[in-house]
Amino acid sequence: MSSGSAGHVTRSTGRPEYETAGRGPARTFLRTADGVPVDAAYTPGRGTSETAPDGLAVVVAHGFTGDLERPHVRRAADAFAQYGAVVTFSFRGHGASGGHSTVGDREVLDLDAAVRWARELGHTRVATVGFSMGGSVVLRQAAARDAAVVAEHRGRTEARTEAHAGALTATTVDAVVAVSAPARWYYRGTAPMRRLHWLVTRPMGRAVGRYGLRTRIHHRDWDPVPASPVESVPLIAPTPLLIVHGDRDGYFPLDHPRMLAEAAGDGAELWLEHGMGHAENAADDALLHRIGHWTAAHTAAHTG
């Protein structure tokens, strides 16, 4: 799916001063590269100096039909706040954000805007944690930004190129966590995924999405089809990558995380969680804290 041309990610509107944000949660609308307003919130970290490295922000990318106000997204954010500041946002077409969902395509631009905001707020270390659709987005975003930065720095010295490289660097990340993410597009091998495809591709399904699930879904097919998660993961290294998946996931069976881990090679760590179902709802507090600890440790090592 597609919903407009790309450009540079613009700055947030109503951006809070860092000192104000440090005293409590801040809320703003970010503007994406293609002009979509994205509802975003910032929560300062609540951890100690021993658990939360200086400068870390965790950007949480929710699953399809979620938004930053959903209880399971807030629960994840509360857990991660023990390890660093947290940026949550609603993908386009979800919650109070504008636009229409493209189910993982243009959502990379929404994540770019959230990562850039974390950098603008002064964070020197940024990790992304995505669930389900958000998991596919964090993989594709990290791959696209890392590859672009490498290309920009490879033997080019023009001022225009250096400025472009600086803009790309503002959206790069220091660690990536994908939870319950698909490996490939158009998967219909489970009943929940067949229902999801009906929701996305049929007019009646999109009406159910809008009025029943508070999710506005774009009617156009992807053109061109974006790189799949399994095509993206080899490009993420040397950025630390964690793939988390439950062995009772009703949407994507275990061949998905195994494909991702195999494609990433030595650049990824794979956690197969016994008894876990799908995405945010299935991630218990213990797992969320393990992910938070992993992001704190690996962003410190990656940028240290």
DSSP the chain: ---S---PPPPPBSPPPHHHHTTS-EEEEEE-TTS-EEEEEEE---S-TTTS-TTEEEEEEPPTT--TTSHHHHHHHHHHTTTSEEEEEPPTTBTT--S-B-TTSTHHHHHHHHHHHHHHTT-SEEEEEEETHHHHHHHHHHHHHHHHHHHHHSS---HHHHHHHHHHHTT--SEEEEES--SSSS---SHHHHHHHHHHHSHHHHHHHHHHSSB-B--SPPSSPPPPHHHHGGGTTTS-EEEEEETT-SSS-THHHHHHHHHHGGGEEEEEETT--SHHHH--HHHHHHHHHHHHHHHHHHH-
- Give the per-residue pLDDT at 163: 44
pLDDT in tens, 126-153: 999 999 999 999 999 999 865 444 444 4
Confidence of residue 170 (pLDDT cuts 50, 70, 90): confident
- Kindly state whether residue 130 falls inside one of the protein's structural domains: yes
**What domain range includes position 235?**
18-187+224-303
Q: What is the CATH number of the domain that holds 103?
A: 3.40.50.1820
The answer to whether residue 293 sits within a structural domain is yes
Is residue 4 scored above 60 in pLDDT?
A: no
User: Would you place residue 24 in the very low, low, confident or very high pLDDT band (cuts 50, 70, 90)?
Assistant: low
With the CA atoms of 111, 39, 246 and 284 taken in that order, what torsion angle do they form, in degrees rounded to the nearest 10?
130
103: in domain: yes
pLDDT at 267: 80
Model confidence at 53, pLDDT cuts 50, 70, 90, reads: low
Whole-model pTM: value is 0.86
Check whether 238 has a pLDDT greater than 50: yes
Q: 120 is written with which tokens?
A: 């603008």
> Is residue 214 included in any domain, yes or no?
no
Note the pLDDT of residue 46.
85
Question: pLDDT class for 300, splitting at 50, 70, 90?
Answer: confident
Query: Model confidence at 171, in pLDDT bands (50, 70, 90)?
Result: confident
Report whether pLDDT(291) > 70.
Answer: yes
Q: Look at residue 304 in the predicted model and tell me its pLDDT.
A: 53
Pairing of β 85-89 and β 37-43: antiparallel
Assess if residue 9 is contained within a domain. Answer: no
What's the pLDDT score for residue 30?
97
pLDDT at position 50 over 80: no
Judge whether 288 and 75 are in contact, CB under 8 Å.
Answer: yes
In a domain, 217, yes or no: no
* % of the chain beyond a pLDDT of 70: 80
Look at residues 182, 38, 185, 49 and name the one whose alpha carbon lies nearest to residue 115: 38
Share of the chain above pLDDT 90, in %: 76
* Count: domains in the chain: 1
Evaluate whether residue 199 is within a structural domain: no
Least trusted range by pLDDT, from 47-51, 115-119, 129-133, 162-166: 162-166
* pLDDT in the model for residue 36: 97
Res. 244: pLDDT tops 80:
yes
Q: In this model, does residue 21 exceed pLDDT 80?
A: no
pLDDT given for residue 19 in this prediction? 34
Whether residue 203 lies inside any domain: the answer is no
